[in-house]
Each structure stands twice: as C-alpha cells, then as structure tokens.
Chains A and B, each alone.
Chain A
Amino acid sequence: MSIAEVATSLLRTEETFSAYLARINNVILQPLLQSGSFENSDLFLLLNNHFQVLWGLTEENCRTLKEAFSASESVSVQDVYLVWKADLFLDRYIQYFSTFATCAVLQGFEHAAKNKSEVWKSHKPALQQFLADFSLDASIAVALHTVLHKPFRDQLQQYSLIFSKLEGAAGQCPESEAIADATQKFAKLLSFVSQVLDEACLTRSLWKSLGHKFTDVLCIAERRLLEDSRNLTVYASTGRSDRVLLFNDILVLIQGSNFRSLDLKLVWVDVAERDVGKYALRIAAPEEEFFLLAKDLKARAVWQWKLNQAVRQALNGKRDFPLWSRDGDGSDPPHCRHFSFTFRAEGRLKNAVYDGEWCLGRPHGKGTLTWPDGRNYVGDFKEGLAHGFGIYLVPCVSEDHYDCYKCHWQEGKMSGYGICEYGNETVYKGYFKDDMRQGFGILEKASSTKHSFKYTGHWENDKRSGYGIWDDKERAERYIGMWHEDQRHGAGIVVTQSGACYQGTFHSDTMVGSGTLLLEDDSVYEGNFTADLTFVGKGKLTFPNGFTLEGTFSNRSSQGLHTQGILNTSGEQQDEHMAKLQLGQKEFPVEMRWEGLLNQFLEYIRLGCQGDMEEAFTGFHVQTSKELRKSQEYLFCQRENEEVPGKVDVLEDIIAHQEEETLQSYLERAFQNSLHPLGKLLKALTLAFQATYSTIGANKHLLNMAQEEVKHYAQKIWEVYLGFLHLASERKGQAYAEDLENSGLNGPSAVLPLILPSFYPDLFMLYMLYHEKEDDLYCQGIVDLSQETDVKLLEFLDVRKHFWPLKDLTLTKHQRRSLVKDRCFLSATDCLRNLITTVDPQEKLDILQKTYDEIAKTISRLLGEEFNPSMDDLLPLLMYVVTRARIQRLGAELHLIRDLMDPTTSGGMYDFLLTALESCYALIQKEIQYHQSWHASQDS
C-alpha cells in the first residue's frame, strides 16, 4: 500500500467520522443544550465545547487533506497530518474523555435521560430512533453513554490501523522516527481512554453503592477510585476498619458509618517490619500511623505500588499519561515534601499550623510552626520535633513583648548553646539542657534599665547554681562565689567600687556570721558587719600601722561608730601579709571555678564531636536559609572583625598539625578563630575572667586567684587539645600521638603564652595594684638616681673602675666625661626596656638574658678579653642598667614573670637571672636613703 492510499483511507474514515459527529450534534447535543437546565447540565455544556473542538479539528483536517489531493497527484507523508498534529489530537481527546468520565461518574447521562423539559420530550422519538442504531439497550441513559464515547474510541482504533499501514508504506524514510513516535502516542492515548473509562465506571458504581452520608462529603467531580479493599483485600490495623478506599487524592478508611480520609500528599508508604504482620504496609501521615495488612505478597505489592503512584501523582498535581503504566514514570514519591498542615489532635501541637518540610508523616527539615496563641517556631525539625537550630517566640502576657529563644534543639528541647532575649529586657547567652539553663551562661539586664545586673556563671535546672559572678550595677558591687537556687549561698567575696572587699559565708542571699573585711586603706576587720560595711557586734580591727582594736562595735544612727574594746598599740600585728591578703583561693579551688564551662567542652569531645552537635555546642550555625541567618547571633564571636571563616574539619586539621614545629602556629590560628572549638573555649574563658577581675574586680586581694586561674586555663586548654587529638587519631585509625607526650614538650607551658594576651590587661592591672606601694618607692629611687651623671652613678653603685666603659664614649667638644648622662651600657639598657613589649614570660626572660649578654659584650670589649664575672661584679653593673632603663611598674612585671614562668626551670639559669633583677628592684626601693647619706658623705 502506498502513502497515497493510506491518505485516502484516512480521508475516508475522517469523512465518515465527521458525518457521524454532525449527527450527534444535531440529534443529541443541541436538543439537550436547548432543553434548559437539569442536574449537571453544565457538564454537558463543557462536554459540548470539547466535542465542538474535536469536530472542528476533524473537519479542518479533512479539508486540508482534500486540498492536498486536488493540488497534486502525489501525496506524501507530510500530508498525513496525524503524524504532525499528534499532540493536538491527544490534547483534544484527553479533554473530551476527561469530561466524559466526569459526566459518567456523576451520573450525568441518567440525569440527562430523566430530563423533563418539553423540548427534550418532543425530541425523544427521534432520539430513540437514532440510538437504536447504536445500542440495543432500551435505557436512554446507557445508550447516551455509549453513543457519546464508543464512536470516538472506534475512531482512535481506526487511527491505529492507519498508522500501522503508514509504517508499512513509508518504510525507511526520514520521517519514520516521527511516525513511530506518533504511533506510540496514539497507542498511549488508547490505553489512557480505556483506563479513564474504567476508573469512571468503578467510581460511579462506588458512589452509587455508598450511602449519602459518605457521598455528600466524598463525592467530587475529579475524584476517582483507584483501589478498593473489596476488590483487593487489605485490612487497616486501626480498630475495626471495614473498607479501605484509595482515590487519586485521598486515602479513605471506612469504619461503620464513620470514615477518615488522609490527604495523599502527606501519606508515606513503606513495607512494615515483619513483626507487625506478614504482609503489612506501614502508612504514615500527620498525627497518624497505621498498617495495611494484605493477604499475600502480591496483594501487598499491588497496594504498595498503587499507593505510591497515587501519592506521587497527587504531589505532581496531575495524573500520569496513561494513568497507570509499567514503564513510564513509575518512581516512588519523594520522602521529603513541603506542605502546610494544621494539627488537630490533642496535645502540644493542637491547632498549630506547620508549614514546611515533611518526612514520613512528621515535620522534618526546615519549617515554621505557628500556634493560635501567637507562639511561633522557625527552624529545623527532625522526626516531628524541633531539632537543630531554631527560633522560638513566646508572647508575654503584656503586649508587644516576646521571649525570643535562638537556640539549638535536640528532640524538641532546647539543648546546647542558645541566646534568649526575654520580654523583660534580660538576655541569656549560654547553654541549655532539656529546655532549662544548664552549664555555663551569662544573664544580663542592660545597664540602661532599672535594676540592671549581670550574672556570669553556672546554671542548674534553670537556676543560678554553683560558682558565679554577679554584678549589681546599682550598688556597684560584685559578688564572686557560690550560688544555690538563684541565691547567694556558700562562700563568697564581695568587691565594691571603692576598693573595699569582704569575704564571708552566705545563706539565702545574705551574709551570715563573721567575715573578713579588707578596707581600702589597708585596715582589716575580722568580725560581724553589715552589707553596708558597718561594724556591728564582735570584731577585731587591725590598722595599717599594726595597731589593733578588739571589742564590740555598734552603730547608732547619727551617733557614729561606738565600740568597747581594747586598743593594742604594740604594732605586733604589723605584717605585709595583712595588706596583701589574698582571698578566695581556699574557698574556690581553681579546679572547680569554671568546671561547668570546661566540662562542656570535655563532654563534647567525649561524645565524639558529632556534626550536628558541633553546631549545637559551639553555638554557630552554618545556615543555608537566609531568613535564619539574619537572626543568627554569636556569643563568643565578634562577627564584625571575623575573618571569613574557612570552616575546616577540626579533627582533620588537628591531625595535620600535631608535630611540635607546626603545633604552635596551629594553636595560634585555632585561638584566633572563634569558630574553632579551642578559640571558642578561649573566648568563653576570657569572658569568665573579665567578668571576675575587670572593672570592680580589679582588686589586689584577688591577684592570686586570677593568676592561678590563668595557669589553670592553660592546663585545661591543653587537656582539651589532647582530647581532640586523641579523638582525631582514633577516627583516623592512627595510634595516639604518643610522640607528643614523649617529646618532653610541656603542653600547658606552650599554651600559656598563646592565651596570655587575652587575659594580660586585667591580670597585669592586678599586679600593678598589688605592687602599687613598692612601685612608687622604686619610682622615687629611679628618679633620684637618674639625676646622677654616668660617672657618679657608677661610683655610687661601687662598679669597679676598670669596668667603667668611658673610653667607649665619643664626646663632642662641649661634653666632659664626668658630666655625660645616659651614655653608658646603652645596648644593655635598650635591651632591657623591651621587657614591656611582650606578654610572654619566657620572652621576657629571654630579653633579660640578652641584657646580660649586652653587659658582658660591653665589658669584654672594654677589657679586650672574655668577661667572666662573679656576682660581686655583676650585680652593681646590673643595678646600673636597671636604673638607666627606667622601666615603669617593674615590680608588677617581675611578679608576673615569676608567677607565670615555667615552674620546672626553678633553680635554673632563668630563675637566677630573674632573682638578680628582683634583687635590683628591691635595692632601688631602699636606695633613696642610702643615696642621700652617700651624697652627704661626698659633700663633706
């Protein structure tokens, strides 16, 4: 058969079909439309529209084909429009049949048959005659149904025939691919049509069989029944369920006269564990989880497949084409979906709306949960519970105020690091556990408000408990000490703005019994006194000059202080120790002071630094959602000057830098990076340290507490570092870095200089206060000795004459050797002045050693031989250099070096060098008297 012959047969069928459509139009559709309204008549209106389009399409194509024939004798594949217009045909047919199916489902033909209008009645005989040609059935409704779909299906069959002829006629030609493609499309259309009609038929009979109670609610035009437990048996595990119906948009469980429907978009289906039943499917939906129990493997497989296909198509918002296919897009629906849902069940979520990502019937991923009372959570969910980072807003009783929790969550509870801005203008930044403040945290009420305060310390069960620092900004006082259930309880120190401080025992927020009160003039009072520092009751007052007053004190208003007691003027009590009494070391052993903070980090390591924990713990959050990032805040990070954080895998990195050579620079980087756990730890410790010792806390009686704390930090940070290293080695399956432990490296000593800059300003302030008096005396001594010329000073200090480096001096005409100043041992003095340029105690010691080197170099040059001095010679020379270097606050410097230098070098050279410098410092304080008498003896 040739292509021309195929085209001819196409033309023939089209002409027949067109003629037939014309008859339907005349005999059925037009009278029906003119007969006025009846139930569902608008469906016929729609059907008519699609019909007209289809008719038009057929007519037009007939015409073009005819023209092609008349134009030339040779007809080509190009003229067989079915190939080129396949999509258009498909579209028109799909529309027609979809509407037809709806008509069938809603029993439109029955309604039409019962039409009571006059027009219709008068038309009936003609209609019956026409219908008789097509259907033997006496019922008009059935006949209508047949007449309006069968010819169309037949026509589609004709098209299929034509296609197979065409394929034979065309053979191998450029168009064969297009022909095959169109053939396939029409085949699909055919199966689509039969599926649509089958579904419609099933659905229609379902609606007919179900009572009004169900159909009133369930029956909607586009809904189709896809599977029925009466057809393929399954039982639902929830109670006694009579029937399970799967529609294209919902899953319905009928129970007696009740039913429940589940939106397929939020239905998850998978094979259940074996213990539930042999052939069970688990159905998960919001607030719902049950099983469908099938009789055999095959039944379960069919239900599972159908359910999944239905869910996927429901999610896609359109049916597949054809509706069911083995090959097509048979994939399962995605596990994670985005949807909005209102919870109904009693409980925490009742009437709350969740809009966000779902998985297996539960909020999972990012989403927003809004309660009718105004509460609102935006953030991460996992298996239905807040998990990850999220922001939770709780409206306060008074309007316009919210408690805002920006927190990490674990299984629905605040856990890990968070920031909470309460409606009452207080802000908490710290750790949570099980929805309560727990561990280390800072609670602050801004200083612009009334009763402003700041608490830095430990929490337990949402209350201040353990060691903590409280600043009462109105009283300008700081409490350092123990807490219990939000109250000061146990040992405590109170430091006041004036510099006075006291130590005592607190009970339920007030001091009880006697305490030690250190006054700003260095008097010490031991006994009973009030919070306003008034002596009341028994006590002993020791004056700075050593006098003591022991007795009973009372304070009547307007009459001042009264006492009955004994004044001891022997001065026996005078003791340096009293003026520099150190507080708190015994009461708050350094190991327990910030235990909760440090343990948080050690615990984190113990639990293996898991990915999501890392965020929760370190309090930063790598967010993809902009909305969340905007509201992100960081406690221990200063974001503004933060380097763009190249977030690296901490454990990977730590392994790569464990060698001693790279360790220091690694640690340095870690400490500067506030996203690194070590940097975070340092920041937290810095906050704790500043909370204790800066501003009001700068009190000389706290020096020992502070310095031992810094050393302890170094120790602990090293422990944390080793913990990370250990963990990293384990991960890598490497042996634990024993090298590091055997290398003799003193870890804490290596850490100390790296962390010291963070604490140095506050710590050094304490040293300065502690040495205020000595440094004053030293300063006077320096000023006094500075007036001397170099020669006079060398003479005064008993430096042996042959060490006087005078021949070194190059003098101008106007200078005389005996009168020059600040010209000798310049290299050594310059070197020593560098002492204040570093905070690292070891570097300070190195500077000291270099100073000695410079002295020796100068002398060696002078003598022309190696200088091998004994202390008899060295000490006067050193005195000279120290005097000329004029280092301010030398006492504070020396004490700091002494406290923070590596203790294992005790007795060694550095110890010796430092001792020599200390002895010079001691001597200069006394030198002023000696110097004056020396002058007197010189003058006489």
Chain B
Amino acid sequence: MMAIRELKVCLLGDTGVGKSSIVCRFVQDHFDHNISPTIGASFMTKTVPCGNELHKFLIWDTAGQERFHSLAPMYYRGSAAAVIVYDITKQDSFHTLKKWVKELKEHGPENIVMAIAGNKCDLSDIREVPMKDAKEYAESIGAIVVETSAKNAINIEELFQGISRQIPPLETHENGNSGTIKLGKQTAQTTRRCC
C-alpha cells in the first residue's frame, strides 16, 4: 500500500515557450486514459513514485497571452508547485518569467514549489538567455532550474523529479510544519489508499 498524493501543478509562461509541449512529453509515455483527450494538453495527470509515496501530478496549463494574465490567480490557487517556462532563445520570455515569480511570491500559495524550465535547449546556438543568468536567478529565489527540450525529451523527467523531491513528505505536516498548511490541507483531502 502506498499513499497517493495529488499535487496540483500549474504551468506559467509566455505563449509559445512550449509549456504544453513539456507536459505532453512528460505524460506521453504513460497517458492517463481516464482523462478525456479532448482537453488535450490543457489538463493532464501523471503518477510517479517518490520515496514511499506516489505523487499524482495534476497539471494545469494556463494561457500565456498577455490579456489573460489577470486570470492566472484563479489557476494557481491551491497549487503545490508551479512550473514557470521560458524560451532560452527569447530574452522577453525570461523577463515574463521574472514577473510570474514575483506575482507568485506575493499572491501565490504559501510554500509553493517553484521550478524554472528553460525550454528549447536543443536550439542553444540561437540562445538569448545564458544558462548562468537563469541559475543565478533561480538560486536567488530558491527555485529549481533546469534547461529542457520537449522536442528531444531532455531533462523533462528530471524537472518533475526535482519538484517531487521538494514536496515535503506527509509526515512533516503531521509534525506540525505550519509552513505547509495550504499544501497539507490540499493533500489531506485528496490522499487516498491505493492497492
């Protein structure tokens, strides 16, 4: 018996940076047939083992267009983690990323795990955002960072493994780690037994 924890993960980033491609790549091999394919890449789930738990990622895509930015809080509400995606070939997208981080810090759920994904690393010859900048920035805000290629399946698994590792195990909540109340509440409701 392993406990399944449902973790809501929210995808943020400019339109065109490949948010949904990353998710598609991540869940591609283990497509969850329970989910209606018609929502497509907008909402996907995948379950991965982590320690003695199973993490079921409920991945929520968001619209990247500027006009929809104000709606983002409705989507990241209750998220355990946020994957913020930029395109290493577009400096602008990294700029947008910083704005998302700032917003999450201010309005996002407490103790949300943030993971930065520099996508399209297969196109590093036309790179605009240096790896170093991203790493430094991620460090400054305490976020996970990886450069990924959805196209070539580089670092995708690692990205989500990194998130899994950052999620505090259940025991911690029970010991009264007050910093994870939101997450704890979420998971307490959705923890089920699996055979």
| Chain A residues at the B interface, C-beta cutoff of 8 Å | 798, 849, 852-853, 855-857, 866-872, 874-876, 903-904, 906-909, 912-913, 915-916, 918-919, 922-923, 926, 930
Contact = CB atoms under 8 A, between A and B. Distances in A.
Q: Which 3 A-B pairs have the closest CB atoms?
A: A870-B20, A868-B40, A856-B38
A664 B82 CA distance: 40
A849 B190 CA distance: 22
17 contacts: A853-B36, A866-B37, A868-B37, A870-B40, A870-B41, A871-B19, A871-B20, A871-B62, A871-B63, A872-B63, A875-B68, A903-B189, A906-B78, A908-B58, A912-B43, A913-B39, A919-B68
Nearest to A916: B42
Given A868-B41, A871-B42, 8 more contacts: A869-B40, A870-B41, A874-B39, A907-B78, A908-B6, A908-B58, A909-B39, A912-B58
Nearest to A912: B43
A867 B40 contact: yes
A852 B43 CA distance: 12
A870 B65 CA distance: 12
B181 interface: no
A855 B67 CA distance: 22
B147 interface: no
B103 to A, nearest CB: 16
Contacts of B162: none
A923 B71 contact: yes
B15 interface: yes
A248 B137 CA distance: 115
Given A871-B62, A904-B190, A930 B67 contact: yes
Contact of A849 (B16, B36, B68, B78): B36
A868 B78 CA distance: 25
B55 interface: no
B28 to A, nearest CB: 11
Given A871-B20, A919-B71, A907 B58 contact: yes
Chain A CB count within 10 A is highest, among B15, B71, B74, B186, for B71
A930 B15 CA distance: 20
A351 to B, nearest CB: 69
A868 B24 contact: yes
Contacts of B15: 872
Contacts of A915: 60, 74-75
Contacts of B43: 909, 912-913
B114 to A, nearest CB: 18
Contact of A874 (B6, B8, B42): B42
Contacts of B16: 872
A854 B15 CA distance: 24
B71 A872 contact: no
Contacts of A922: 70-71, 74
B65 A904 contact: no
Interface in B100-132: none
Nearest to B41: A870
B38 A852 contact: yes
B63 A918 contact: no
Contact of A907 (B19, B36, B74, B186): B186
Given A870-B61, A871-B63, A919 B74 contact: yes
A848 to B, nearest CB: 11
Interface of B: 6, 8, 15-16, 19-20, 24, 35-43, 58, 60-65, 67-68, 70-71, 74-75, 78, 186, 189-190
Nearest to A915: B74
B182 to A, nearest CB: 12
A912 B42 contact: yes
Contact of B35 (A857, A909, A930): A909
Contacts of B186: 906-907
Nearest to B11: A871
B113 to A, nearest CB: 15
Chain B CB count within 10 A is highest, among A872, A903, A904, for A872
A489 B126 CA distance: 76
A907 B190 contact: yes
B189 A870 contact: no
Contact of A869 (B8, B42, B65, B71): B42
A867 B16 CA distance: 17
A869 B41 contact: yes
A853 B35 CA distance: 12
A557 B35 CA distance: 69
B8 A867 contact: no
B56 to A, nearest CB: 9
Nearest to B7: A907
Nearest to A926: B70
A904 B65 CA distance: 31
Contacts of A856: 38-40
B74 A874 contact: no
Contacts of A876: 63, 65
A919 B77 CA distance: 12
Nearest to B38: A856
Contacts of A912: 39, 42-43, 58, 60
Contacts of B189: 903-904, 906
Contacts of B58: 907-908, 912
Contacts of B35: 909
A49 B128 CA distance: 142
Nearest to B14: A872
Nearest to A927: B67
Contact of B190 (A855, A866, A906, A919): A906
A776 B24 CA distance: 39
B69 to A, nearest CB: 11
Contact of A871 (B36, B37, B61, B70): B61
Nearest to B9: A907
Chain A CB count within 10 A is highest, among B15, B24, B43, for B43
Contacts of B61: 870-871
A870 B19 contact: yes
Nearest to B60: A912
Contact of B8 (A875, A903, A907, A913): A907
Contacts of A875: 63, 65, 68
A930 B67 CA distance: 9
A903 to B, nearest CB: 7
A870 B42 contact: yes
A872 B65 contact: yes
Contact of B74 (A868, A869, A918): A918
A915 B10 CA distance: 13
A909 B61 CA distance: 11
A872 B74 contact: no
Contacts of A919: 68, 71, 74-75
Contacts of B37: 866, 868
Contacts of B75: 915, 919
A923 B72 CA distance: 11
A280 B8 CA distance: 84
Contacts of A870: 19-20, 40-42, 61
A803 to B, nearest CB: 13
Contacts of B190: 904, 906-907
A798 B38 contact: no
Contact of B38 (A867, A871, A916, A930): A867
A858 B70 CA distance: 28
Contact of B36 (A903, A904, A909, A926): A909
A852 B189 CA distance: 27
Contacts of B60: 912, 915
Contacts of B39: 852, 856, 869, 874, 909, 912-913
Nearest to B72: A919
Contacts of B67: 798, 923, 930
A923 B15 CA distance: 18
A872 B43 CA distance: 12
Contacts of A926: 70
A919 B69 CA distance: 11
A872 B64 contact: yes
B174 to A, nearest CB: 20
A66 B48 CA distance: 125
Contacts of A913: 39, 43
A277 B59 CA distance: 87
